[in-house]
Amino acid sequence: MKNWLEVSSMDRWWVDNVKVVDPVADRVFDGSLCVQDGLIAELREGPAPEDAPRLDGEGLHLAPGLVDLHVHLREPGFEEKETIESGSRSAARGGVTTLCAMPNTNPVCDDGPRVSYILERSAQAGFAKVLPVGAITRGSEGRELADLGEMHYEGACAFSDDGRPVSDSGVMRRAMELGRTWDALIMSHSEERSLSEGGQVHEGAMSAKLGLEGIPREAESIAVDREVRLSRLTGARLHLCHLSSGSSVEILRRAKADGLKVTGETTPHYLLLDDSAIEGYDTHKKMNPPIREKSDQEALVAGLCDGTLDAVATDHAPHTEIEKNVEFAYAPFGVIGLETSLAAVLTRLYHSKLMELPRVLALMSSRPGAILGGNAGSLEPGSPADLCLFDPEEEWLVRAEDMASRSRNTAFEGMTLRGRVRATFLNGSPVYRRTMDEGKENEVFTPAKRMQESAS
């Protein structure tokens, strides 16, 4: 048996003694996996060959690295909240190997050079594959289309004005028509601003009780409905971001039944929390769209179980303590999520016996991977050896102070979650691992050399 440092410098080696979770084949089995030159070379039932260099997986579960469709890395412009480097470390700690970086930085990622800047910076960091999302409109101001073709050429994985809706339907239509020519993915932050403006939390009994301005479900579902109609009109591939309400799930369900190329995601915080969580005016429960009612939570879970919703993404949105530590009305929207997403989703869907492990992992790896195209989220030989080694049973207490993210605004502070990442591999390199040395936890982050070499 080899140790972790040895394997990262070897050309061919095995992870042995693992329970393989294959979300595409929809099964879990005792097996081993061979890594060669940073790629998955072989997957087999049973142990690795006797004479081959092997790494002991300690009976842990091995799955494809997680693919997160919705992350805010804040660099350039808001480095006090997060950087590409700190956000990538945070991803590695959460088992996430590929993530989509939203363009609402300063400057907004709305042209080719800005797309390549993010690709370079993340390769230099070497902890996760960061796929830049290009803005739909210049400066995300909603008026003039950005140069989608140029950004696509430089490597943008999708287009979105996330953080802001594209309010002008004609502009959105033109973006979809243009994107359609190369089958681009349009990600929609669906929000009807005339209904959400000034709102702080979900509009309902709780907002009335707390005396906070509400945001009705319709602020989301009316916008979702428009996007679906525009997708039908243009034939564009549409992805609906951070869905929070049962009514939106219903629209997506119908769109899929009609055969439209529409997909949707929800986030861990909508699955674990409902609007009773805001009772103490905790700004770490303030996000946009807001956490809604128990019935919405149940509709989202049902949407994941019946395949209407395709993915769970984090909407990782770092904000500093200074910004969040203010009166509720003045706090920014958003919570971090990269380091807690697997545990949160396992706790909500797997440990409650609603879903088997491969299906849970599919929502967080192979299905978002398929939405992006390419080979992320797969254990297919020939795919990059981006892997997540985890213990689905380990219970742990979420503590903001332990986070690798530069920000501390988790919505799950103090919660005990079940399921925890032990190690993350990127292109076959162990970029994150957690060990127990004499009863003390030890975490090691090591950048993947292959990523860094490609950057230099």
For the bound state, the minimum distance from the C-beta of residue 291 to Zn ion, rounded and expressed in Å, comes to 14
Site residues for Zn ion, window 89-118 (CB under 5 A)? none
**Looking at beta carbons, which residue is closest to Zn ion?**
189
CB of residue 189 vs Zn ion: minimum separation in angstroms?
4
Binding track over 384-403 against Zn ion, x by CB under 5 A: --------------------
Of these, 152, 164, 189, 239, which contacts Zn ion (CB under 5 A)?
189
CB of 208 to Zn ion, least distance (A): 26
452 sits in which H/E element: helix 449-455
Q: Please work out, in degrees rounded to the nearest 5, the angle formed at the alpha carbon of residue 100 by the alpha carbons of 296 and 9.
A: 125
Q: Which two tokens stand for residue 201?
A: 């939390």
Identity of the residue, 162 or 293, whose beta carbon is nearer to Zn ion in the bound complex: 162
Q: How far apart are the first and last CA of the chain?
A: 33
CB of 164 to Zn ion, least distance (A): 8
Q: Rounded to whole angstroms, how far apart are CA atoms 420 and 413?
A: 15
Site string (129-168) toward Zn ion, x via CB under 5 A: ---------------------------------x------
Q: Which is nearer to Zn ion, 110 or 162 (CB)?
A: 162
Nearer to Zn ion, 313 or 342 (CB): 313
Taking alpha carbons only, the member of 120, 92, 94 closest to residue 451 is: 120
Q: Which of the stretches 104-112, 122-130, 183-191, 203-211 binds Zn ion when contact is defined by CB under 5 A?
A: 183-191
- Shortest distance, CB of residue 101 to Zn ion, whole angstroms? 13
Q: Which stretch binds Zn ion (CB under 5 A): 20-28, 104-112, 188-196, 377-385?
A: 188-196
The CB-of-422 to Zn ion minimum distance in angstroms stands at 31
315 is catalytic: yes
423 membership: H or E segment, kind and range: strand 416-426
Of 260, 259, 257, 278, residue with least CA distance to 269: 278
CB of 163 to Zn ion, least distance (A): 5
Q: Which of residues 294-313 bind Zn ion (CB under 5 A)?
A: none
Q: Tell me which residue of 379, 346, 350, 347 sits closest to 365, measured CA to CA.
A: 379
Nearer to Zn ion, 77 or 235 (CB): 77
Q: Contacts with Zn ion: how many residues (CB under 5 A)? A: 2
Quick note: the x/- pattern for Zn ion over 265-294, rule CB under 5 A, is ------------------------------
Give the residue with the Cβ less far from Zn ion, 244 or 347: 244
Of 152 and 189, which has the nearer Cβ to Zn ion?
189
Pairing of strands 12-22, 54-56: parallel
User: What residues contact residue 261 under an 8 Å CB cut-off, 6+ apart?
Assistant: 231, 235, 236, 237, 238
Please report, to the nearest 10 degrees, the dihedral formed by the alpha carbons of residues 304, 309, 313, 318 taken in order.
-100
Give whichever of 93 and 189 is closer to Zn ion, judged by the CB atom: 189
Where are any strands of DSSP class E within 166-245?
185-188, 201-202, 214-215, 237-240
State the DSSP H helix or E strand holding residue 125, giving kind and residue range, or none if neither: helix 112-125
**Site for Zn ion, residues 34 to 63, rule: CB under 5 A:** none
- One-letter amino acid at 116 equals S
Which among 404, 258, 281, 432 has a CA at the least distance from the CA of 338?
404
Q: Where are the alpha helices (DSSP H) in 238-356?
A: 246-257, 268-272, 294-305, 321-324, 341-345
At residue 297, what are phi and psi to the nearest 5 degrees?
-55, -45
Among residues 283 and 378, whose Cβ is nearest to Zn ion?
283
Where does this chain touch Zn ion (CB under 5 A) — which range of 9-17, 128-136, 187-195, 353-361?
187-195
Min CB(187)–Zn ion separation in Å = 9
Stretch touching Zn ion by CB under 5 A, among 185-193, 268-276, 291-299, 421-429: 185-193
Side chain identity at residue 410, one-letter code: T
- From 22, 275, 296, 315, the catalytic residue: 315
Measured from the Cβ of residue 417, the count of other Cβ atoms closer than 10 Å reads 22
Q: Is 436 exposed, middle or buried (0-12, 13-18, 19+ CB in 10 A)?
A: exposed
**Does 192 help bind Zn ion (rule: CB under 5 A)?**
no
**Interface residue list for Zn ion (CB under 5 A):** 162, 189
Q: Catalytic positions, please?
A: 315
